[in-house]
């Protein structure tokens, strides 16, 4: 029993200190030195802890709020500025007062509720009473009040009622970049667009770790040029109004880097007024919507044939009569009634010619080529909002016939832009980005999808179309524009509606050495007297594209050149010389 009550033996270090402090065989001077040393160590530890806490408060002044975030209502987080490629601020934080309560410190809850609701009539009395009736240490009463309201409430002197200066997100450019930049919720957390991308790429983790303070965040630089964005939006607004279109949208892309320089989808919304963003008519049609792109898809069909090496620009195709396939008959808007070569298929936008070209390649080759061009899979960019292409469930020859001229398959317009970029930039498929990127960085992620020779021929065809084809109204003098039109009838209740069309026009600038692609889309433009009752792309989307080019080319640093030779001599001759 004695052995069971024995205390455990002390550690040797404890025995040593005990002997030094109280041992009979230790002299008094040694005991004094040990005691003084222990006191010094104790004070050093205390000062170290105090210093560490001071450093933490200096580095993380919102630490108090952070604890509240974890246990009580959330507090708006700090976010980095978002700027355009020239340093213009697109989104930033400002400080705004918010009203909170500390129920445990309230002396008279009823009086507090009465005074607060009298000062802020938009407060719900029952909700304020309920929130102040808890035993919580902190509850929000109203976020983002005005300085005048803060002053008025402060003068009431209600115990347990206070203010916190929170981060509030503001967008100085308003609607200009709405669909691209997205927006945040009341807690300053990204819920759409680039704002949401920021949270999903480290910002939320930084906040959770307590490192995302105002002073530690560098601005995020986008690929967007606000000047170009403004010009594009302005021309689209005019076109939407002039042609009484249901919607209008457009993209300016750098074909060498994949950077999106401007992107507009109308109707848009003001991110400073988030309620508008929930309107289903205000979706981003360029990434969230998928559409049959009409004849702009013929560019892929012809590139497929040219890249196979089996056909050239002078290869002939039978367009003497409509193409009958099963119970379907394929017509041309401008019937030639003869054999036509590849150039005529493109400039006259022949459905029959495009269908025969695709059939000559075969279904599997057609599918493989479109997959290689990035048209078969969902496009992923920094923007969280994206849609998957709509493809035929069972892809047979009839599908290849219609898809050859842009019907029967729907893609996101940004996806089509990526493919066209590859057709004209030498054959490199570059994933689009909304972040600033150099050409070297772009080539690191690029993938060759067609030959340089094929790309040269596509640039020639696009320029030829602006000289003699359906893109003539966009041939802005001095800028050597190339382009392709597209008019697709919309599917209404499972049937194509001839009077309700989605028009697109894609242009490259300049065609002999492309730097930019411009896409313009008009949804359901109406016939006008000046268009002679036509609603096809050449009468509305193309002239709109020309106006956009005339405004943005100087902003993009594209110098005008005059008296240039036709595409046959400038593009094809240069291409042959380098082969």
> Residues with catalytic annotation?
295
484, 296 contact by CB (below 8 A):
yes
Task: State the helix-helix crossing angle for 363-372 and 298-308, rounded to 10 degrees.
Answer: 110
Q: Tell me how far apart the alpha carbons of residues 121 and 250 are, in angstroms, rounded to a whole number.
A: 44
As a whole number of Å, the end-to-end CA separation of the chain is 103
Tokens 């099963």 identify what position? 326
CA 447 to chain centre: 22
Task: State the helix-helix crossing angle for 452-468 and 298-308, rounded to 10 degrees.
Answer: 140
Q: Tell me how far apart the alpha carbons of residues 316 and 314 are, in angstroms, rounded to a whole number.
A: 6
Bridge partners of residue 353, in order along the sequence: none
Which regions of 370-452 does DSSP assign to beta strands (E)?
A: 428-429, 447-448
DSSP state of 389: P
Q: Tell me how far apart the alpha carbons of residues 118 and 156 are, in angstroms, rounded to a whole number.
A: 11
Q: What is the CA radius of gyration of the chain?
A: 34
**In what helix (H) or strand (E) does residue 18 lie, and over which residues does it extend?**
helix 12-22
381, 434 contact by CB (below 8 A):
yes
**In what helix (H) or strand (E) does residue 495 lie, and over which residues does it extend?**
strand 495-509
Q: Tell me how far apart the alpha carbons of residues 190 and 545 are, in angstroms, rounded to a whole number.
A: 33
523-530 CB contacts, 8 Å cutoff, 24+ apart:
523/245, 523/246, 523/247, 523/248, 523/249, 523/285, 524/245, 524/246, 524/247, 524/490, 524/500, 525/243, 525/244, 525/245, 525/501, 526/243, 526/244, 526/245, 528/242, 528/243
Collapsing DSSP states into helix, strand and coil, what is residue 469? coil
Select from 470, 496, 475 the least CA-distant residue to 560: 475
Bridge partners of residue 486, in order along the sequence: 504
DSSP string, 181-249: H-EE-TTS-EEEHHHHHHIIIIIHHHHHHT---GGG-PPEEBS--HHHHHHHHHHHHHHHHHTT-SEEE
Q: Tell me how far apart the alpha carbons of residues 312 and 563 are, in angstroms, rounded to a whole number.
A: 28
Q: Tell me how far apart the alpha carbons of residues 249 and 271 are, in angstroms, rounded to a whole number.
A: 18
Longest dimension (CA), the chain: 123
């Amino acid at each position: 029993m004695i052995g069971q009550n024995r205390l455990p033996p002390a550690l040797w270090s404890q025995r040593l200190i005990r002997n030094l402090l109280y041992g009979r065989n230790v002299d008094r001077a040694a005991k004094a030195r040990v005691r003084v040393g222990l006191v010094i160590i104790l004070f050093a530890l205390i000062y170290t802890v105090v210093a560490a806490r001071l450093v933490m408060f200096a580095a993380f002044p919102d630490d108090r709020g952070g604890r509240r975030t974890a246990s009580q209502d959330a507090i708006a987080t700090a976010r980095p500025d978002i700027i355009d490629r020239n340093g213009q601020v697109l989104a930033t934080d400002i400080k705004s007062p918010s009203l909170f309560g500390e129920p445990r410190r309230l002396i008279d809850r009823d009086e507090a509720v009465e005074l607060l609701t009298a000062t802020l009539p938009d407060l719900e009395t029952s909700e304020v009473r309920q929130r102040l009736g808890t035993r919580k240490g902190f509850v929000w009463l109203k976020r983002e009040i005005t300085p005048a309201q803060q002053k008025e409430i402060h003068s009431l002197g209600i115990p347990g009622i206070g203010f916190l200066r929170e981060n509030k997100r503001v967008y100085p450019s308003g609607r200009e970049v709405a669909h691209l930049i997205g927006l945040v919720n009341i807690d300053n957390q990204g819920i759409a667009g680039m704002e949401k991308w920021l949270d999903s790429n480290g910002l939320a983790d930084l906040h959770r770790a307590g490192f995302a303070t105002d002073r530690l965040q560098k601005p995020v630089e986008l690929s967007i040029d606000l000047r170009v964005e403004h010009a594009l939006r302005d021309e689209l607004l005019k076109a939407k109004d002039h042609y009484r279109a249901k919607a209008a949208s457009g993209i300016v892309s750098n074909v060498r880097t994949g950077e999106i320089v401007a992107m507009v989808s109308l109707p848009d919304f003001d991110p400073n007024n988030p309620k508008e963003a929930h309107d289903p008519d205000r979706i981003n049609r360029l990434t969230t919507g998928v559409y049959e792109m009409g004849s702009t898809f013929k560019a892929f069909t012809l590139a497929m044939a040219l890249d196979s090496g089996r056909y050239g620009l002078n290869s002939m195709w039978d367009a003497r009569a409509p193409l009958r396939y099963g119970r379907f008959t394929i017509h041309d808007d401008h019937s030639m009634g003869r054999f036509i070569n590849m150039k005529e298929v493109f400039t006259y936008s022949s459905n029959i010619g495009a269908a025969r070209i695709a059939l000559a390649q075969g279904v599997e080759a057609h599918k493989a080529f479109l997959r290689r061009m990035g048209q078969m899979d969902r496009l992923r960019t920094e923007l969280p909002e994206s849609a998957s292409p709509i493809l035929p469930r069972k892809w047979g020859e009839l599908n290849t016939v219609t898809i050859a001229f842009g019907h029967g398959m729907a893609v996101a317009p940004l996806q089509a832009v990526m493919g066209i970029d590859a057709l004209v930039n030498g054959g490199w498929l570059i994933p689009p980005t909304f972040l600033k990127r150099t050409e070297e960085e772009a080539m690191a992620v690029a993938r060759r999808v067609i030959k340089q020779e094929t790309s040269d021929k596509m640039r020639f065809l696009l320029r030829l179309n602006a000289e003699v084809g359906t893109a003539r109204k966009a041939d802005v003098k001095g800028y050597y524009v190339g382009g392709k039109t597209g008019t697709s009838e919309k599917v209404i209740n499972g049937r194509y509606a001839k009077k309700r069309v989605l028009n697109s026009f894609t242009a490259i600038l300049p065609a002999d050495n492309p730097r930019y692609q411009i896409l313009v889309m008009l949804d359901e433009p109406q016939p006008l007297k000046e268009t002679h009752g036509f609603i096809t792309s050449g009468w509305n989307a193309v002239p709109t594209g020309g106006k956009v080019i005339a405004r943005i080319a100087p902003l993009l640093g594209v110098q005008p050149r005059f008296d240039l030779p036709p595409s046959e001599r400038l593009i094809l001759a240069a291409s042959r010389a380098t082969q």
